[in-house]
Amino acid sequence: MDARTLLPGPAACPATLGASRSALSAADAQPINRELSLLAFNHRVLALASDPDTPLLERLRFLCIVGNNLDEFFEIRVAGIKEQLRVRIPPARLTLQEARGLLPLIGSEVRALIHHQYRLLNEQVLPALAAVGVRLLRHADRTAAQRVWVTRYFNEEVRPLLTPIGLDPAHPFPQVVNKSLHFIVELSGRDAFGRDSSVAIVRAPRLLPRVIRLPPEMAAAQSFLLLSSAIHAHLQDLFPGREVLSYSQFRVTRDADLWIDEEEVKNLRKALQGELPQRQFGSAVRLEVAANCPDRLAHLLLAQFDLGEDDLYRCDGPVNMMRLVSLIEQVEIDALKYAPFTPGLPDRLRGRTDLLAAIRQHDILLHHPYQSFEPVVEFIRRAAEDPDVVAVKQTVYRTGVNSALMESLIVAARRGKEVTVVVELMARFDEEANINWAERLEQAGAQVVFGVFGLKTHAKMALLIRRETDAHGATRLTPYAHLGTGNYHPRTTRLYTDFGLLTADPGICADVNEVFLHITSLARANTLDRLLLAPFTMHARILQMIRRETHIAREGRPARIQAKMNGLLEERVIRALYAASQAGVRVELLVRGACALRPGLPGLSENITVRSLLGRFLEHQRVWYFENGGAHSVWLSSADWMGRNLFGRIEVAFPVSDPVLARRVIDEALAMGLADEAGSWELKADGTWERCRGDRGKPGCSAQHDLLARMRATVEPL
């Protein structure tokens, strides 16, 4: 390949940092803490919510995304730290004392986050929505007629489903499901039986919508109210003869990780089916209450859930902001959302009706969501509809409740084809959906396996085997493969940026088949010629490629590493990148989320830059580029450079050998990302992030916007 055409140029937007980098020495290069780095990522998401150039409803969506991210952060990360402290085994690289000190730091950062989050909601987003005719009405905002309507709705739809529980020895504190909405109510006087039961608990019905739209005749604007607001307004009605002195919404977040004992489990699916209901009642890790919740009620709740003052978080608005996604979906003003787009097709598929014939001619690279996911759906559909396709194999990590791909696999199995599906049952929060798909596939006659116990199968692969006749009339089995950086999930392919490769390359297809045999048989994998496989060869090969660039730089030749991923935490990879920087290798990284590496340290990482790119789509590709003395090595992978991916999962990385496609990957994922000025942040040596800005007065270039414009469909997809 021509080095002049492949080599990425320097980033087009030098970060206009307000101050010079912190003068930290190599001795100060402690890894940036993972949890604090994840929280810093959510601060960057909030910046999208505060950006006036972001459409209003999308600003609200980013606020909701932060709420959802924090839920999972507490369910998994904070819950994990608390459990490690309970058993006195601190997280890696931390002492017990340091781990204990981490929780207050997390609490401080989370409080800053939610303060900013609710301030944006209350002071910017909701007022701006009201100004354009979308109103979220509190009780005080509602007209007399609207209050009458809400009262009728409450009496007819809500009250019959409520069960207020007054607390006394016969009515102990009720079970509180993970993240469910409740109210704690303080009452005056004695109950109907003459006892001093002054506190009651009311659970909001889980089946009712959290956002209720008022009928058009009740308001000129599109007006909504929260279910919690309707309950607030009528709490007094639930306790006739007593006065409601005070009350508050509250929500408890629980440990949602699943603990399966490998030595005891005989059937993983049955074990999970028994364990999943318990996720709702794990140990409490966070209590959220309304901002004005009286201290006495907050302390009563903390004591009930065995939590401390540091676990209490006050919210100046709905305690579950994620519920406001329902409002976004109901608003009928397109201008308040991102403009819709139709994903395009790569040039190699334009005008082609036979997908497999196109793949035989050239490898095909798909860049989602800019390019359609339909060719992947068509690829699997051929397994069901093409009589010459005799077998199909696929991995499933996340695929959703409704999936055309899974339905095609079921049809293929019913038609007697050899269908093998590796279903990852431990895909967090998708376990139930995956169990349901596994059962349906088995009922159709597919062979379903659940990977390797203790190692999540995170690789994204599909293999289709077709009986074909060559030019001499001889028949043979011909394989075709799809490999990707993202999940086989139709919804997320429109929200996440990912690459997929469709290929008939015999070497890659043989390796894909070998990986399937390894997973299903549990036998040692034969040597792979083209793919890298975690937890076996991938980590060592990554280090080898970094060290190769280091050696080239020490010889005085140009050397460069560019990589894009979701997280960078693995210690030996970071140390290898530091050594490369010291040798003069230019290292440019795009890390969306958590990053433990400190760039820009004199004498250690001064040749390393780290950026994080955020925008309309979630940046999800894993891309590696090594200059390799002009040979230019380009890889795509399902794996981040994190210990869990490289040692605790089945992952694959695959080369992009076609020079045209390699140039596309470098340009679309790396060069454009590094040149972005609209949604890009740069990591500083002290662990803080600073917004990258273009020239003042000029609009900054946006990688996502430019890629949408470049690849938007001009013809209908397959």
Q: Are strands 496-503 and 608-613 parallel, antiparallel or unpaired?
A: unpaired
Q: Going by DSSP bridges, is the β-strand pair 134-136/222-226 parallel, antiparallel, or unpaired?
A: parallel
CA–CA distance, 332 with 343 (Å, rounded to integer): 23
Residue 235's Cβ-count burial label (10 Å; 0-12, 13-18, 19+) is middle
Contacts of 349 (CB under 8 A, 6+ apart): 355, 358, 364, 375, 718
Specify whether the CB–CB gap between 649 and 527 falls below 8 A.
no
Of residues 419, 418, 516, 507, the one with CA closest to residue 461: 516
**Angle at the Cα of 639 from the Cα atoms of 636 and 645, rounded to 5 degrees:** 160
Closest C-alpha to 115, from 41, 37, 42:
42
Type of residue found at 481: A
Annotation says 632 is catalytic: no
Q: Given the residues 458, 489, 539, 632, select the one marked as catalytic.
A: 458
Give the containing element (helix H, strand E) for 430. none
Distance from C-alpha of 628 to C-alpha of 7, rounded to nearest angstrom: 11
Q: Which of 369, 365, 396 is nearest to 380 (CA)?
A: 396
Question: Which tokens belong to 572?
Answer: 């030996």
Triad 707, 711, 714: Cα angle to 5°: 150
Q: Rounded to an integer, what distance in angstroms lies between the CA atom of residue 141 and that of residue 598?
A: 50
The dihedral built from the CA positions of residue 123, 124, 128 and 134, taken in this order, carries a sign that is negative
Scanning the structure block, which residue is given the tokens 């409080």? 111
Centre a 10 Å sphere on the Cβ of residue 698 and count the other Cβ atoms it contains.
9
Structure tokens of 111? 């409080």
CA distance 208 to 152: 15
Q: How many CB atoms lie within 10 A of CB 647?
A: 15
How far is CA 717 from each of CA 345, 352, 362, 364, rounded to the nearest angstrom? 6, 10, 18, 14
Which strands form 134-136's sheet, in the order they lie side by side? 134-136, 222-226, 211-213
Tell which residue, 117, 382, 438, has the closest CA to residue 268.
438
Spatial neighbors of 243 by CB under 8 A, at least 6 apart, are 187, 188, 189, 236
Q: CB under 8 Å to 706, separation ≥6 — which residues?
A: 672
> Shortest CA distance to 324 belongs to which of 460, 483, 168, 212?
212
Closest CA to 564 of 595, 537, 540, 536: 595
Among candidate residues 703, 653, 8, 4, the one with its CA nearest the CA of residue 367: 703
Instruction: Round to whole Å and give the CA distance between 581 and 574.
Output: 11
Bridge partner list, 315: 290
Cβ atoms 604, 580 nearer than 8 A: no
CB 146 within 8 Å of CB 221: no
Report how far residue 116's alpha carbon sits from residue 119's, in angstroms, rounded to the nearest whole number. 5
Q: Which residues belong to the active site?
A: 458
